[in-house]
């Protein structure tokens, strides 16, 4: 017996050194094509100077504030040992994280009203990958509100 | 073939702007009712100014220290662009994260001895939601200690 | 019907107070023995002063920079309330996180070229545990590159 899981890879192109790229619509398009009524969607970033996060999708200032504050917490130059000059990007990657698991409902990501999914570029511009895993569940299995 | 996954929604009421709310018992109650001997439990916060974390459940001072230190790392006022005055809460949400996957064993969360599950409110007081997904596994499949 | 999930426990021995321990090979060995062609692997740390992360495996300086910068962000002494003197370790645990879900492909962790998996010790030296959950998926289910 095998689990009904599908694997996809999205390409993400960043245009500056630090950037939040909204990938919500790309993931939604995949899910619509896959046609999973209910399940889970695991996103995985196979890079060490990038990350994935979920945050507000309405006011772009929130994304700007997040990037700017991460720069304050982890400055680009701070006497790091790593010679490539991107230790800040590696540190941010571990703080934000490279993997997130999201709910799927009615064939779409079941995010909160104000949530979007953001690929976090910390050492661009580069062509990046985002791995997407979709796990199908029984749509009759809603436990409801408790 | 469909995966035996069940979905539930818990309501969480916060009483102050910043607060760690212990939801371990609520998730445990759900699991006992569901009756899954072994599996995984994914928790998802559908909000952009809140988060979910696992940390020490014995001394409440640990929770106080975590909230207080997050305030130091991400002050409420710090020249943010976002006009709503809660950029700190959005940033904390991305640092702590909105999704966590936990083991289920013997019908309960298989946490470490000192671990509890905490809903992190960063912009309350509010009535919040916590989505809970329970995936059942074969209880005969223990690989043991390596 | 039951999900083909297997559970394992790895032992991890830390040798200093703060240390990143590369557990990539240990997890890979488990996966090879389990023989799952495709799937997901969830790692869970059942401790409150440790964490799990994925980061660069080539230059050890990156790991040193990460530990050192976490010390700057969360100093060992900072007027914490918790009397045990390890509040810094608890806070780092919530910032980095205790759970991560990784892809499995061809019987191995499908990490990026430069990625390794690191158990993060923040209050050692100690003998620690790392819980490993392996979920098998249909190897025919590749959705390909989009």
Question: Does A141 map to a domain?
Answer: no
- Rounded Cα–Cα distance for residues C127 and C146 (Å): 44
Of B40, B42, B54, B52, whose CA–CA distance to B112 is shortest? B54
Question: Does A34 map to a domain?
Answer: yes
Place of tokens 């100077």: A49
Q: How confident is the model at residue C144 (pLDDT cuts 50, 70, 90)?
A: low
Q: Do C6 and B143 touch (CB under 8 A)?
A: yes
Q: Do B78 and A69 touch (CB under 8 A)?
A: yes
How confident is the model over B83-130, as pLDDT tens digits?
899 999 999 999 999 999 999 998 999 999 999 999 999 999 999 999
Question: Does B6 map to a domain?
Answer: no
Tell whether omega for the bond before B10 is within 30 degrees of 0, i.e. cis. Answer: no
Number of domains in chain C: 1
Question: Over chain C, what is the mean pLDDT?
Answer: 91
Which residues on B lie below 8 Å from A68 (Cβ)? 81
Q: Do A61 and B81 touch (CB under 8 A)?
A: yes
Nearest CA in chain C to B135: C3
- Rounded Cα–Cα distance for residues A48 and C118 (Å): 12
Question: Which pLDDT belongs to residue C146?
Answer: 45
Chain B, 44 to 83: residues with Cβ < 8 Å from chain A are 44-48, 73-74, 78, 80-83
Closest partner residue to C145 (CB to CB) among A9, A80, A133 is: A9
Question: Does C68 map to a domain?
Answer: yes
Question: Does A46 map to a domain?
Answer: yes
Of A88, A87, A90, whose CA–CA distance to A71 is shortest? A88
Question: Does C6 map to a domain?
Answer: no
pTM > 0.90: yes
Q: How confident is the model at residue A21 (pLDDT cuts 50, 70, 90)?
A: very high
Q: Do B135 and C5 touch (CB under 8 A)?
A: yes
For the record, the structure tokens of B8 come out as 């539930």
In terms of phi and psi (left: phi > 0; alpha: psi -120 to 50; beta: otherwise), the region of A79 is left
DSSP A61-105: HHHHHHHHHHHHHS-S-S--S-TTS-HHHHHHHHHH-SEEEEEEE
**CA separation (Å) from C96 to B100, B125, B142, C20, C51?**
12, 26, 28, 12, 6
How confident is the model over B23-50, as pLDDT tens digits?
999 999 999 988 888 889 999 999 999 9
- CATH at residue B26: 2.60.120.460
Q: Do B3 and A66 touch (CB under 8 A)?
A: no
Question: Which pLDDT belongs to residue B87?
Answer: 97
Name the percent of chain B in helix, strand, coil, to the closest 5.
Answer: 25, 40, 35
Does ipTM exceed 0.90?
yes
Domain that holds residue B127: 14-136
Of B132, B141, B128, whose CA–CA distance to B101 is shortest? B132
Question: Does C106 map to a domain?
Answer: yes
Task: Return the minimum-mean-pLDDT range out of A34-38, C56-60, C70-74.
Answer: A34-38
Q: How confident is the model at residue C136 (pLDDT cuts 50, 70, 90)?
A: confident
Of C68, A92, A40, C87, whose CA–CA distance to B68 is shortest? C87
Question: Does B53 map to a domain?
Answer: yes
Contact B123, B49 (CB under 8 A): yes
């Amino acid at each position: 017996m095998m689990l009904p899981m599908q694997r996809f890879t999205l390409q993400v192109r960043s245009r500056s050194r630090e950037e939040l790229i909204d990938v919500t619509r790309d993931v939604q398009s995949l899910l619509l094509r896959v046609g999973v009524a209910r399940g889970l969607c695991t996103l995985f970033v196979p890079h060490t100077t990038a990350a994935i996060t979920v945050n507000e999708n309405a006011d772009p200032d929130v994304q700007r504030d997040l990037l700017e504050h991460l720069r304050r917490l982890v400055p680009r130059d701070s006497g790091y040992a790593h010679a490539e000059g991107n230790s800040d990007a590696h540190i941010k990657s571990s703080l934000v994280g490279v993997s997130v698991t999201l709910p799927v409902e009615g064939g779409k990501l079941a995010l909160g009203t104000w949530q979007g999914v953001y690929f976090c570029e910390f050492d661009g511009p580069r062509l990046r990958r985002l791995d997407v895993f979709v796990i199908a569940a029984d749509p009759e299995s809603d436990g409801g509100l408790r």
